[in-house]
Amino acid sequence: MTAQLIDGRAFAATLRARVRERVAALAPEAGRAPGLAVVLVGHDPASEVYVRSKGRQALEAGMKSFEHRLPETTGEDELLALIARLNADDQVHGILVQLPLPAHLDPRAVIHAIAPQKDVDGFHISNVGMVGTGQDAIVPCTPLGVMMMLRSLVDDFRGKTALVIGHSNVVGKPMARLLLNADCTVMVAHKSSTNIPELARMADILVVAAGVPGLVKADWIKPGAVVIDVGINRVDGNAPDGRARLVGDVDFDRARAVAGAITPVPGGVGPMTIACLLANTLRAYCLQLGLPDAPLLSDTKDPE
């Protein structure tokens, strides 16, 4: 068997186009475009790239983009004061603080300072609690993107068994909650659990967000399973140009022969993260302005 490749770039392009269409339809009537504020503290090279893409893609979707780049030495009071200003700014409908933050800043205090209705990352405890209790809320971007891709492949989650490897607040925990809300039977494993291979062999859906290159071996995968690789690891590779190459948490080349469907890295889950940020910003804007908020991709079986 050769697994179906799940093309995250195609999904993301479709979702971005739908966001752009909806913004074009709503903004003239609302008298303003959705506004996304992205805050970056310090100079983490990967974060710089993601923040640039977020700003560019927001503009392409017809949104306003407000970028706040702060020095590495920024104090917590200063950052919280900026967030308070953004909370009060009616041009700003979505606020995101790029993670990771420099070590002297407490991410919990920073995230909890964001008004829950503007928390387009879905990390505020109020949104986390709503998702955890199966209520409608702003959902973290990466797990939201994964659910959209899974819905195109899985007709009914009831009776399916899922394993999520990794339990971060950004991916693993919300992912497990969304799968539970979809009536899946869900297992969550720490990346260093010794029994992951046995758990994985039971999984119809395997979501890996461990940050360990090639952690999941082909013989851990149940034949025909849907494998979603959230890992983005930069490894010094044998690339012809000598640059680091990106690999996931799954031994992709061998896993492909066993899985039913699989996401590549790059080009799988990653592109959906920013597309879902745009969808969340549009949603936050609709909720704040009392505009209709219809699903964009989650109801669609085919990304085309």
Binding site as annotated, residues: 166-168, 232
Span of 24-32, 131-139, 178-186, 265-273 interacting with ligand LMY7XDAE by CB under 6 A? 265-273
Contact between 274 and ligand LMY7XDAE by CB under 6 A: the answer reads yes
Residue 143 CB contacts under 8 Å (≥ 6 apart), including other chains: 171, 174, 175, 178
**Least CB distance from residue 9 to ligand LMY7XDAE, whole Å?**
7
Q: By CB under 6 A, tell whether 141 contacts ligand LMY7XDAE.
A: yes
211 binds ligand LMY7XDAE (CB under 6 A): no
Annotate the chain with DSSP letters as a single string. Answer: --PEE--HHHHHHHHHHHHHHHHHHHHHHHTS--EEEEEEES--HHHHHHHHHHHHHHHHTT-EEEEEEE-TT--HHHHHHHHHHHHH-TT--EEEE-SSPPTTS-HHHHHHHS-GGGBTT--SHHHHHHHHTT---PPPHHHHHHHHHHHTT-S--TT-EEEEE---TTTHHHHHHHHHHTT-EEEEE-TT-TTHHHHHHT-SEEEE----TT-B-GGGSPTT-EEEE---EEE----TT---EEE-SB-HHHHTTT-SEE--SSSSSHHHHHHHHHHHHHHHHHHHHT-----SSTT-S---
Q: Is 207 in the site for ligand LMY7XDAE (CB under 6 A)?
A: no
Q: Name the binding residues for NADP(+).
A: 166-168, 232
In this chain, which stretch among 96-104, 181-189, 197-205, 212-220 interacts with ligand LMY7XDAE, using CB under 6 A? 96-104
Min dist. Cβ of residue 39 to ligand LMY7XDAE (A): 9
List the catalytic residues: 54, 98, 121
- Of these, 69, 180, 267, 288, which contacts ligand LMY7XDAE (CB under 6 A)? 267
- Least Å distance, CB 270 to ligand LMY7XDAE, is 2
**Position among 225, 271, 279, 296 found at the interface with ligand LMY7XDAE (CB under 6 A):** 271
Q: Which of 19, 144, 232, 259 binds ligand LMY7XDAE (CB under 6 A)?
A: 232
Q: Is 281 in the site for ligand LMY7XDAE (CB under 6 A)?
A: no
Contact call for residue 128 and ligand LMY7XDAE (CB under 6 A) = no
Residue 80: enclosing H or E segment and its boundaries? helix 76-88
Range 157-176, binding ligand LMY7XDAE (CB under 6 A) = 170
For ligand LMY7XDAE, the binding residues (CB under 6 A) are: 46, 50, 96-99, 121, 141-142, 170, 232, 246, 265-267, 270-271, 273-274
